[in-house]
Amino acid sequence: MADFNWNGDALLSSAVGALIGSALTLAGVYYSHWLQKRQNAQKDAEHLLGLLQGIHDEIETLWESYTSSVGAHSEALQDSIPLMVFWPITQDYFTIYNTNAFFIGKIRDHDLRKCIVATYSKARGLIDTYRLNNELLQKFEYATLLAQESQTTVHEANAQARYQVLVEYASQVKVRHIELKAMVAELLRRLRKEGVLSGNGPGKP
């Protein structure tokens, strides 16, 4: 009987030990998973903050470059005056945005994410506007050259018509310029609110 009790106690102790060991192992696995998840979340947060900083710098730099060139002419456009400035567009200016499209979708702030996408979309639209103005300006200059060389009323009328098209299109250029100006200012404000200038995201010291 004593041997039976001893064996029973030994079995119970082994079972309890095994249970505790399993619980500790499970807890260790859970903690490792939690720690890995936390580290991944931290990396994602740091990456997204870096992305926001990059977007801020890209938008700010491009806007300053734009407003110091053709943007200044668009800003100063008067009614019934065409934009007689040819702006060469030779590259894709939005490197950071284009190469991080997937991560932009991970930005949790819906309003900020929407503001980023809308601003870049509006900027692309303005670039297309300048492309068309370039084409209209080239056609006007060619028509003017023909009118000067031929001295005919037909070519003079064509040149005048081309000029009028430029006048009418200039109003659209200015409107889109003003719209983008407001959107850029709002986007930069939101990004600075996110701490892109200090390097600290929301909630960080």
Of 201 and 159, more confident: 159
What pLDDT shows up at residue 200?
54
Distance CA 185, CA 75 (A): 15
DSSP, collapsed to helix, strand or coil, labels residue 204 as: coil
Query: pLDDT digits over 91-127, tens only?
Result: 788 999 999 988 898 898 999 999 999 999 999 999 9
Of 83 and 35, more confident: 83
Report yes or no: 89 and 130 within 8 Å, Cβ to Cβ.
yes
Query: pLDDT digits over 64-77, tens only?
Result: 999 999 999 999 99
Report yes or no: 130 and 87 within 8 Å, Cβ to Cβ.
yes
pLDDT > 70: percent of the chain: 77
How many CB atoms sit inside 10 A of residue 136's CB? 19
What pLDDT shows up at residue 204?
45
What pLDDT shows up at residue 94?
94
The pair of three-digit structure tokens given for residue 159, joined into one six-digit string? 């040149």
pLDDT at 32 over 70: no
DSSP label of 85: -
**173 burial class (0-12, 13-18, 19+ CB within 10 angstroms)?**
buried
